[in-house]
Amino acid sequence: MTHPAAPLRGAQACPALMVVAPASGQGKTSVTAALARLHTRQGRRVRVFKCGPDFLDPHWHALASGRPVHNLDLWLNGEDDVRARLHTAAADSDLILIEGVMGLFDGEPSAADLAQRFGLPVLAVIDASGMAGTFGALVHGLRHYRAGLPWAGVLANRVASEGHARMLCRSVRADDLGAEPGGLDAGWLGALPRDTAFALPERHLGLTLAAELPDAMARLDALADALARTPLGQLDAAGWQRWAVRFEAPEPASTPALLQGRTVAVARDAAFCFIYPANLDTLRALGADVVFFSPLADEPLPPCDALWLPGGYPELHAAALACAGTSRAGIAAHVAAGRPVWAECGGMMPLFEGLTLAGGERQPMWGLLPGEVRMQPRLAALGPQRWATPRGDLRGHTFHYSLTESPLAPVAQTEAASAYGRPEAVYGQGPVRASYFHAWFASHPVASAGLFLPEAA
């Protein structure tokens, strides 16, 4: 696996914190974004990362920090790629924040695996609503379940009152506190109140996109203000040095310029928004000129040699996409000219003949591939995937609430990396390749280039 950016040589040190929880829905994203916003407002350079293949939480972290947010996953990226991203971030940042995924020990590999591999201090965020003494048991379990886990402390979330906060603090065992010089307890870093003013709204795939909420920054500022009243929020730059981590330099890596002189058009708007910044970096490292357009705004397809239709929320914008005649005509002409198209998950859905929404209404779509897509009331597939392409193995994941029925015979199948997953079909017709598979281009840049080159190239 290779990293598209030229790595800096020499180890780099930077304060770093991994924000974790005992389960999903505890408030990891809110706390990570609040920390990023608080320190960015104070003039510090903050880099935020997200564990796992999530697309949605990074939108909030990018808004809070004002900087691109990359994903870190020992399986998806590979250890070398993770090391390169952390090393590069440490060289130009005052603080690195990493949001975990699900619960601290969930998944293979888990957030705990990543923390131990790179020595990242762990901050546990626990939803304390409806509990008192059990809070201390959770802290003790998270801290001691695995020997050698770097530990920063715990932050209680959704706390009812100051009295409730004192009960929670007292529940933490003395051997989990470990008072440090300066009076800060390693076990207790404060409490955030239960307050709807800074709740981050959700829908079926996760958090609502920050760009869709006119008060998104106000919510982040309210979160940052609340965090500023905690011991964690009151730490100055010198206080953060207790969590400084030394990130070793990766081995030099290079990416062949297989897309030199080629233009790749990328759909990007509220319907096509699941785009890893690292994927764009990889395309550019391969030599591609990347241009953007919005099918939702019915913009014409820019002059290009290849097209990428990334995932997103076509089901929320089905009527507008159905009426996007200019975009559809440009894509149809592109296909007729034999130019490559890579469409993944939500980017694949409008290419079929129809999309049936969750309420049963069928919306005619672009009809560039035969078949129908139907939204489901429950998650249809989730998990890591690998695709053995003719140019090498691409890694990625699948996460979708729709199912597709098509007379097309798949030209390939992905392989689930988990015993609980199932393969995903890769459909092909002419120059179009389409699948529910979300590719992490940096996992194999040469294989990724193949998605945007004519088959004979």
14, 273, 304, 345: the catalytic one is: 345
Closest CA to 69 of 49, 51, 89: 49
* C-alpha pair distances (Å), 261 with each of 125, 283, 304, 306: 48, 12, 10, 12
Annotated catalytic residue 345: yes
- For the record, the structure tokens of 167 come out as 């009960």
Sign of CA dihedral 102, 104, 106, 107: positive
> What's the rounded Cα separation, in Å, for the pair 138 and 405?
45
| Six-digit token string for 238 | 């010198």
Give the torsion sign (CA, 136, 139, 142, 148).
negative
Q: What is the spatial distance between Cα 350 and Cα 152, in angstroms, rounded to a whole number?
A: 46
Would you state the torsion angle of the CA atoms of residues 268, 269, 270, 274, taken in this order, to the nearest 10 degrees? 10
Write out the two tokens for 176.
């989990």
- Reading the block at residue 369, the tokens are 């591939």
Question: Catalytic residue numbers?
Answer: 345
